[in-house]
A and B are shown apart, each in its own frame.
Chain A
Amino acid sequence: MTNCESIRELIGSWLDGELNSAESDSVRAHVAGCPACGELRRQLEKLHLALKDDLTAEATRLEFMPFWRAVQQRITQKRAWHEDLRDWCRDFFTAPRIAWSVPVAIALVLALVSLEAYVPGWRSGGARNNFAAVDSIDAYGHSVALLRENESRTTVIWLYQDQEGENEAAEDTKTSGPAF
């Protein structure tokens, strides 16, 4: 069974023709069978008619010429840019738009954060920060160099062989010269 309270909320919209056909049918059927809601409908219709009569009577007494002159004057007059901007802002920043801006801002922040995971280096224009952080190095007595190569943003750990070491290839590194 249709709830009287929910129907009463819709009667005004129904009389104004704001409901879709399914809702209109539902309200019409309920109002036809429910004396209390039918009474509310009659009262609202009376109110509409009374308002309409009053406004029509008042309209005949109104002098419209000054009104139209003022409208024409506003159309033809040049407006300052800040007035245009103020009107544009008033139209643009409506309540629903402001409400939407919050989740949209969150979405943008999340997208920026996620993008780094999927497209590494996009923030630095492809030159990704590839630097590593070296927590510890133990080279077991060998000389070791830790370098950060700025151009390719790469961390290099370089082991220098002891010149007197037992490895027969030590001579080769001597001839190959310093690596950096």
Chain B
Amino acid sequence: MKLLKTRRRLVLLFSLLLVSWAGWGGAAEKNPQSVQVTIRSILAANKSDEFDAKLKGMEQQLKSLKYRSYHSLKDETKTVAWQGSQSFEIPGGRTLTVAPQDFQNNRIALKVHLTENDKPIVDTTVKIPNRGNFILGGPPHDGGVLVLSISASAP
């Protein structure tokens, strides 16, 4: 009888711990203070077969673009507050402005605005998985095209 009571208490304690854990996990997802945004500028061209070793982690993603060479031009990471925005200087006089909008279901909504010499090129709103990325490419640059990998990570 005494053993049963002790076990009942243990089960209750364990359940309370689980509920706290679930609550903490939910709160952690709901209230991240900021998001880390990384912009990777890559030159894709067909002049050689060179693949920049710095881009090894993105090889599969880039190879699907069907260019012959890939060269990393610039990597920049900034911490951006929710509902705030940050601008990233992109090769070729371009500017990419990223504004995190929302974080739901482990997905980050980003508003992305690309300009070239203050002239708007593209405006898009994209929801990417936390710690994931998407690719924005196509603007001509230095005999090839510019490929931007835009990734975001919420703590």
Contact = CB atoms under 8 A, between A and B. Distances in A.
A140 B120 contact: yes
Contact of B124 (A116, A128, A136, A180): A136
A171 to B, nearest CB: 8
B127 A130 contact: no
A133 B124 CA distance: 11
Nearest to A144: B122
Contact of B139 (A13, A100, A134, A161): A161
A135 B60 contact: no
Contacts of A52: none
A137 B11 contact: no
Contacts of A172: 140-141, 143-145
Nearest to A166: B119
A142 B122 contact: yes
Contacts of A137: 122-124
B132 A116 contact: no
Contact of B65 (A120, A130, A179): A179
B124 A138 contact: yes
Contacts of A96: 4, 7
Contact of A114 (B25, B136, B139, B144): B25
Interface residues of B, number: 50
Contacts, number: 151
Nearest to A143: B138
B147 to A, nearest CB: 9
Interface string B17-48: 01001100100010000000000000011100
B106 interface: yes
Contacts of B53: none
Given A114-B25, A117-B29, A140-B122, A157 B140 contact: no
Contacts of B138: 158-161, 173, 179
A132 B110 CA distance: 10
A120 B121 contact: no
Interface string A152-180: 10111111110000010110110111111
B73 interface: no
A156 B66 CA distance: 13
B131 A152 contact: no
A103 interface: yes
A106 interface: yes
A120 B67 contact: no
Contact of B130 (A120, A155, A158): A120
Given A96-B7, A175-B46, 7 more contacts: A107-B18, A140-B120, A149-B64, A154-B64, A177-B46, A179-B44, A179-B137
11 contacts: A99-B8, A99-B11, A103-B18, A117-B106, A154-B135, A157-B124, A157-B134, A159-B138, A167-B140, A172-B144, A172-B145
Interface of A: 13, 95-96, 99-100, 102-103, 106-107, 110, 113-114, 116-117, 120, 128-140, 142, 144, 149, 151-152, 154-161, 167, 169-170, 172-173, 175-180
